[in-house]
Structure 1
Amino acid sequence: MPFDTLTFDHVGIRVTDLAVAEAFYGRLGFVRDPDEFSEAGKACGLVHPTGLRIHLIFNGEASAEGNVLLDVPVKRPGYTHAAFIIDSMSELVAWLNREGIAITEGPVEMGHGRRIVCFIRDPDRNVIEFNEVRS
């Protein structure tokens, strides 16, 4: 291979309303990076205090079907979710409950108890996975 992949940079998440999505991801600790905003490209970069990045792609069309990659019977190719490693599933669950953010699946143990996973949806029904990895 002529190059090395050094690390993961960001995931792009298509949304219908930038203000609503930015407020939701702000609750998860992400803030706008003014150097990564493009009105022409309909992209808004957000950064977490840990350095983790996401890009909100704000050109989505609302759909009565929900998330077309996961909620419809025909499964089309595409990115289905972003997954984040957290330090405490119990603290995350308590916070989600306080914030009124619905858990759509989990928490459940996976990989023979190696990790606990939990899923939520953003306002556009994009899936977000949280993982507490056990040593």
Structure 2
Amino acid sequence: MPMPALPPKNYKTPFASMIGHHVAIRVPDFEASKKWFVEKLDWRVLHEWPYGDLQLAYVGPATDDTFFVEILGGGDPQPKVIYDDVDASLVHAGYHHFCLTVDSVDDTVAELRRRGVTIIGEPFELESISRRLAFFSDPWGNLIELAQVIA
């Protein structure tokens, strides 16, 4: 079942200029997180800056200059729940994951496994949105979704 047609865009709203830019993740090890994105996902470190006692950086996909992950490091963050099952992760309120579109979920998961990345469950199809999906996590339990459009 394909996704329904999107409603028309509303250019009359005072928020018409809003578009997505980045999502932020809090990590206990700033340098290790940057290294993980670069070595495991082939992402680029785009910009770094301090904020109080924190260190921040934008990292972005190899070929995308429109979506970033902001890494928040430093200080003494509280530990978070680490999931090994997507369904178990759905019981808590709050931020859950961000999604990356790929040409092939299966090929991407195979390469992530080869690079030692933690895969959270096996790829599956969700017909209601015409997508093949998979989830993986960084070393600190931040979930990332992969999505492939299926016919």
Report the TM-score range of the alignment, normalised by the length of the smaller protein: 0.7 to 0.9
Which consecutive segments of 4 or more residues in structure 1 shift more than 4 A? 70-74
Secondary structure of 2:123 counterpart:
strand
Aligned to 1:86: 102
Aligned to 1:29: 42
1:57 paired to 2:72: yes
1:10-21 to structure 2, matched below 5 A, reads 10-21=22-33
Aligned to 1:46: 59
Secondary structure of 2:146 counterpart:
strand
**CA displacement 1:46-102 (0-9 Å, x = unmatched):** 1222112110011462527437xx9789724x2111111111112102201211212
Cα distance, 1:132 vs. partner? 0.7
Cα distance, 1:6 vs. partner? 4.6
Letter in 2 for 1:14: R
Unaligned runs of 5+ in 1: none
Alignment CA distance shift 1:14-1:87 (3 Å) = same
Work out the CA distance in 1 between the residues paired with 2:89 and 2:135: 18
Cα distance, 1:113 vs. partner? 7.6
Work out the CA distance in 2 between the residues paired with 1:37 and 1:4: 29
Verify the 8 A CA contact 2:26 2:77 in the aligned structure 1: no
Verify the 8 A CA contact 1:20 1:123 in the aligned structure 2: no
**CA displacement 1:108-131 (0-9 Å, x = unmatched):** 001258111100111110101100
Larger radius of gyration: 2
- TM-score (normalised: structure 2): 0.73
Work out the CA distance in 1 between the residues paired with 2:95 and 2:108: 24
**CA displacement 1:31-59 (0-9 Å, x = unmatched):** 2123x422435321112221121100114
CA RMSD of aligned residues (A): 2.7
Verify the 8 A CA contact 1:66 1:124 in the aligned structure 2: yes
Work out the CA distance in 2 between the residues paired with 1:122 and 1:94: 16
- TM-score (normalised: structure 1): 0.80
Aligned to 2:3: none
Cα distance, 1:106 vs. partner? 2.4
